A and B are shown apart, each in its own frame.
Chain A
Amino acid sequence: MSLIELANVSVDFDQKGKTVQAVHDVSLIVESGDVYGIVGYSGAGKSTLVRTVNLLQRPTAGSVKVNGQQLIKDGEQVISHGALQLARRKIGMIFQGFNLLNETSVLENVAFALKHSKLSEDEIEAKSRKLLSLVELADKADFYPAQLSGGQQQRVAIARALANDPNILISDEATSALDPQTTQQILQLLQKLNRELGLTIILITHEMAAVKAIATKIAVMENGRLIEHGRLTDVYLHPKQSLTKQFVGGSLAAMKVLNQLHLAKLAPDEAICQLVYNMSNVTHSIIIDLYREVGVVASMLYGNVELLGDQPVGTLMVLLKGDATKQRAALAFLAAHQVTATVIPESEVNHA
């Protein structure tokens, strides 16, 4: 079931008379239970795009439908101010800067979200305390936010965002201000919420590691456009766009290592090739098979295995040795065995 439908959404900003297009004609469907990672460099329009989901940002054109309710139709707001407030309570959001109210206690921060619920004062307090236990901060209820660490503040923000039992949680670079260990804890908490409460999560980040850890789907944005999207494993194993290739496949790390090697100039019958493959599909060594079946020698330059959600994915950088016909045969062989092979142009490699 599709929870969020963005159709041809564009957002223009007027900056000193000049129109800047932050989001350009993006269509995206998020289904119930998804953990949808949206990646891209800063300024790609990720935050602007997701802000159209709860209308913190009004799109200039396009349509937005959330929880079966039309918010924007062809660039016009079709939901009343009051109805929007109600709709927003079903869309939780957490931010890079936590954005807690500093002059109220942790408990009051959560209770603030419940101000307009049907609950009595006592019930609000009880529910707020329950939410704080969920994020393991029950003992910090009477603290002020500034007395907590960044990770704890973000957990309070999560409790607050979940107060009205939303079915959608938008995380806008929520882990970007946190250290790696705390980032992992927050991501695990989000994954737990997704699995146990069926919460649909939109995860905006510039850190591919965060997406790899918990996302089920991924969308890649560049210059306000959605350049690629789909299931995480599909996009990861078969990236089409060059930016996507930079983000996924461990290419950046692999290239870094490759350039440390200062390889000698390649012979005419040599090529450097990146192989990305799903480990669960590969039962025997492709390198040996490559030699046996095609007669191409592949020497290993770099190898890595990462977890995509629960799926192990291998990345190899190899030096293929064989004439042009054999090289073509090798690539065909690899493709037939569900290995994504990309020949790295020699110009991208440092030579000794």
Chain B
Amino acid sequence: MLSFLNHYLPNVIQLGWTGDTGWGTSIVQTLYMTFWSALFGGILGIIFGVLLVVTKPGGINPNRYWFNLIDKIVSVLRAIPFIILLAFISPLTMLILHTQIGLNAILVPLTLGIFPFYARQVEVALESVDKGKIEAAQSLGATTWDMIFSVYLREARAELVRISTVTIISLIGLTAMAGAIGAGGLGNTAISYGYNRYNTDVTVVATLLVIILILIVQVIGDHFANGLNHQHR
């Protein structure tokens, strides 16, 4: 078995499992980047998405000033291509973390890159909640917090899980791009040890691992989304 792998995937085996260049290390790095930026970006995205829906004209607490401000922030950040954002944001990263390189440093652009994308999807998901339900809850004297947590977020939860899945998958793509500028992870392995050294076998295996990762996320996401949906019999 090992000789077979050595014969067909010599460079893959050479990288090993542990150590700085190991496969295990890069998988863990990818998961690390994905998890933390999904968490931070997710929280920011939900907050911004909720604020958009609540403050928009005709929302439950309309506020033109806040709506326009948040809307512009999200639109502008979404418009910046991620690869440019990586460079553009580095002074801010320096300010927050006192470093511009490494796994933690990359969390800043990843979070800023993903949250506007997520916020827009949260906005759409919450908008899909039937206006009648909003009205009914208001007629019961529900407070703004009730409206946000018990009506909007709760009623849209299956949709929120679905868009979270899509967002995490996009995020894994972004971590690969971050890897290309040296942040580590499977993207880094594919580019630095594969592509740049003409080790096609490394590139192929790194790509396959990313695909498997994405499929796992998709399956888990679909499972939860279906379990949370009670809209139909």
Tell me if A333 is interfacial: C-beta within 8 Å of chain B. no
B104 CB to nearest A CB, Å: 37
Query: Which A residues lie within 8 Å of B135 (CB)?
Result: 56, 95, 99
Q: Which chain A residue has the least Cβ–Cβ distance from B131?
A: A99
Residue from A87, A88, A89, A103 in contact with B228 in the complex, judged by beta carbons closer than 8 Å: A103
> Could you tell me the dominant secondary structure of chain B's interface residues?
helix
User: CB of A197 within 8 A of chain B?
Assistant: no
* Chain B residue contacts of A54, Cβ below 8 A: 139
A113 to B141, CA, bound (A): 8
Q: Residue B56 at the A interface, CB < 8 A?
A: no
Which of A84, A88, A146, A170 lies in contact with B140, CB distance below 8 A? A88
Q: Which residues of B contact A115 (CB under 8 A)?
A: 142, 146, 150
B218-233: which residues lie under 8 A (CB-CB) from chain A?
228, 230-233
Cα distance A104–B149 in the bound complex, in angstroms: 12
**For the complex, is A97 an interface residue (Cβ under 8 Å from B)?**
yes
Q: Is A116 at the interface (CB under 8 A from chain B)? A: yes
> B130-149, CB under 8 A of A: which get 1 and which 0?
10110111111111001000
A116 contacts B143, CB within 8 Å? yes
Nearest-CB residue, chain A, relative to B143: A85
A147 interface hit (Cβ, 8 Å): yes
Segment of B4-12, B92-100, B151-159 engaged in the interface with chain A: B151-159
A95 to B138, alpha carbons, bound, how many Å? 13
Contacts of A95 in B (CB 8 A): 132, 135-136
Chain A, interface SS category: mixed
Any B CB within 8 A of the CB of A190 = no
Instruction: Give chain A's interface residue range (CB within 8 Å of chain B).
Output: 20 to 34
Check B130 against A103 for contact (C-beta < 8 Å).
no
Query: A99 contacts B228, CB within 8 Å?
Result: no
Residue interface mask A184-215, B partner, CB < 8 A = 1 = 00000000000000000000000000000000
Q: Mark B43-75, 1 if CB is under 8 A from A, else 0.
A: 000000000000000000000000000000000
Contact indicator A56/B228 (Cβ below 8 Å):
no
The answer to whether A116 and B141 have CB atoms under 8 Å apart is: yes
The listed residue with most A CB atoms (<10 A of its CB), out of B135, B138, B141, B233, is: B141
Q: Give A99 to B138 CA distance when docked, in angstroms.
A: 11
For the complex formed, measure the closest distance between the CB of B55 and the CB atoms of chain A, giving whole angstroms: 15
Residues of B within 8 A of A170 (CB): 139
Docked complex Cα distance between A111 and B230 (Å): 18
**A102:B155 contact, CB within 8 angstroms:** yes
Instruction: List chain B positions with a Cβ less than 8 A from chain A.
Output: 130, 132-133, 135-143, 146, 150-151, 154-155, 157-158, 228, 230-233
Known: A87-B141, A112-B137. 8 other contacts (CB 8 A): A56-B135, A95-B132, A97-B130, A102-B231, A103-B154, A144-B230, A146-B232, A163-B140
A-B CB proximity, top 9 nearest: A99-B136, A89-B141, A88-B141, A93-B139, A99-B132, A144-B230, A85-B141, A113-B140, A97-B132
> Which residues of chain A have a CB within 8 Å of any CB of chain B?
54, 56, 84-89, 91-93, 95, 97, 99-104, 112-113, 115-116, 144-147, 157, 160-161, 163-164, 170
CB pairs A–B below 8 angstroms (28 shown)? A56-B139, A85-B141, A86-B141, A87-B141, A88-B140, A88-B141, A89-B140, A92-B139, A93-B136, A99-B135, A100-B133, A101-B133, A103-B154, A103-B230, A104-B150, A104-B154, A112-B137, A112-B142, A113-B140, A115-B142, A144-B230, A145-B230, A146-B230, A146-B232, A157-B136, A163-B140, A164-B140, A164-B141
